[in-house]
Amino acid sequence: MEEVTKAQLQQAQQLIKAGQRKEAYQLLRRLLQADPNNAQVWWLVAHAVPDPDQQRKALQHVLRIRPDYQPAQQALDKLKQPADAASSGVGEVLEARATPEEDEFFLTPVASEDASPISSETLDIYDDAVPAATGGAPPASTALGTAALMGVLFGSAAGVIAGVVWVLVVVLTKMQIGVVAVIVGLIVGGASFFGAGSRRNLPIAVISVIVTLAVMGVSQYFIVRHFTIQELAAEGVPVEMPFYRGVSDDDLYLDEVPGFGRLAINPEMGSLYMPILFPPGTILAVAIDSLGQEPITLVFWGIALWSAFSIPSRGSLTVRRR
C-alpha cells in the first residue's frame, strides 16, 4: 500500500486554507485511492467539500477508522445543529486544531488494516460537491440531474441507432437473431454511462434499462409490422401506410389483423390502412404478443437489460489497497 506522507497532508491543508478546495480534493482523492482507510485524509476531505452532507459522510469515515478522535466528533455534532449555528462548524474545528506538523493526529501512523475497503463509488460521490477554485459548482443534486439528462440523451440516441440496425438485420436476414438484442443493451448502457460523464450510480443504470426496454419494444413492433405487411401482400391485400391513423366510428369497413386488432379499410381503394405508428397501447400489445410466441427471445431480452444495467452501475467495485 502506498503511504500517505506528512508533506502531502500539509499540501492539502494549505490548499484548503488558500481557498483552493477543488485542487485540495483532487490531491486527497488520489491519496484515498492509494489508502482508502486513512483517517487523516478523510479528515481533510471533510474540509475540502462544501456540502454538509458530504462533510458528514467524510467525518463518519474518520470516526469509523479512529473512533477516539474527538475533533471529528465535535465537527459532526456541529453539523447536526441548526444551519445558522453549524454553518462554519467544520471550518472552526479545522482552525482550532493545529497544523499537521503540530497535531499528533497527523504525526501518528494510522493502522487501517482492519478497516473495511472503501468503494470507488464512495470516492466518486464527492466529485459533484467540490467547487472550482474560481467559483462554485452546482450542488450534487443538480449535477446528478444534469448527468441523468445527458445519460438519457446519449442512451436514447445510441438506442435509436442500435434499434434501426436491429430491425434492418432481421428484415434482411428474415431471422430473429437474439444476440442483436444483447448488443442493443450493451450499446445503450455504454452510451448512458458515457453521456452521464462516466458516473456509475443507480439512477443512471435505471435510466439505461428503461431506454433499452423502450428501444427493444419499439424495434420488435416494427419487425412484426414489416412481416405482417409482407403476409398481407402475399394474400393479395393492398396496404396503405399513412404516418398515423386510428380507428374511428366513421370507419364502416374493418378487418381484424392478428396482433394489431381492427384496422380500417379504404372504401374507395379497398386497401387496408397500416399506419407507421399505432397508439402506444397497440405498440406494446404487438411487442408482448410477439414475445409470447417466441419465449426464447425473453432470455436475450433479459441479458440485454442486465447488460444495460450493469455497465453504469459497476461503481460498487472496491478499491484494493496496494
Q: pLDDT per residue over 39-96, tens digit each?
A: 888 888 888 888 888 888 888 888 888 888 888 888 888 877 655 444 444 554 444 4
Domain stop point among 111, 137, 163: 137
- Is 1 a member of any domain? no
Same domain, residue pair 150 and 297: yes
Residue 99 neighbours by CB distance under 10 Å: 13
* pLDDT for position 87: 46
* pLDDT for position 135: 42
For residue 123, pLDDT beyond 60: no
- Reading the block at residue 48, the C-alpha cell is 475540502
- For the segment 293-299, the average pLDDT, to the nearest whole number, is 85
Structural domain containing residue 111: 6-137
Same domain, residue pair 282 and 230: yes
11 Cβ contact partners less than 8 Å away, ≥ 6 residues apart: 27
Work out whether strand 261-264 and strand 254-257 pair parallel, antiparallel, or are unpaired: antiparallel
Closest CA to 47 of 91, 106, 99, 77: 91
133 Cβ contact partners less than 8 Å away, ≥ 6 residues apart: 19, 20, 21, 22, 23
Same domain, residue pair 213 and 76: no
- Is 321 a member of any domain? no
* pLDDT for position 222: 92
Least confident of 5-19, 116-130, 294-308: 116-130
Least confident of 173-177, 264-268, 315-319: 315-319
- Is 322 a member of any domain? no
Average pLDDT of the chain to the nearest whole number: 75
Q: pTM higher than 0.75, yes or no?
A: no
Residues 62, 65, 71, CA angle at the centre, nearest 5°?
A: 40
Amino acid letter, residue 123: L
Cα-based distances in Å from 230 to 118, 225, 290: 57, 9, 16
Same domain, residue pair 73 and 207: no
